[in-house]
């Protein structure tokens, strides 16, 4: 059985995958919607202005919280790394550093995306 699900999980680089720092929520929502296929599912004003976006039941949030976007991001586990890369590139996103990483005895096919706001995303899939 095949599925169209692409995003399987997201993990923060530093603290909270639901509060990645951005300067403008509407610009973030627009870019991540077009580039990653995320849709806005929540918006909060307190304690910091925040939007939560989702794809395939995986949530990633963006917040005006004073954090340094160039020091943050998320690792995104995908079901099909080739499809993820092709889709992002078709959406005009530059991907970089296509390689195989080894972590905890597991081999991963990976690539990176640095978003316009400076957040870095590590897309990965275990290699069987």
Distance CA 4, CA 119 (A): 26
Cut 0.85: pTM above it: yes
**Residue 36 φ then ψ, to 5°:** -100, -10
**How confident is the model over 51-96, as pLDDT tens digits?**
999 999 999 999 999 999 999 999 999 999 999 999 999 999 999 9
- Structural tokens at position 17: 């995958």
Q: How far is CA 38 from CA 25, 26, 28, 74, 100, in A?
A: 13, 13, 10, 14, 26
SS3 state at 36: helix
């Amino acid at each position: 059985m095949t599925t169209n699900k692409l995003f399987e999980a997201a993990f923060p680089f530093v603290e909270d995958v639901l509060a990645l720092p951005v300067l403008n929520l509407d610009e973030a929502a627009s870019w991540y919607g077009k580039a990653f296929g995320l849709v806005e599912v929540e918006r909060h004003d307190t304690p910091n202005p925040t939007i939560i976006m989702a794809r395939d039941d995986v949530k990633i949030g963006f917040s005006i919280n004073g954090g340094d976007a160039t020091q943050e991001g998320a690792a995104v586990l995908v079901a099909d790394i080739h499809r993820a890369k092709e889709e992002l590139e078709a959406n005009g996103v530059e991907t970089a550093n296509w390689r195989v990483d080894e972590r905890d005895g597991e081999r991963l096919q990976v690539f990176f995306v640095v978003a316009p706001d400076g957040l870095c995303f590590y897309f990965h899939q275990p290699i069987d």
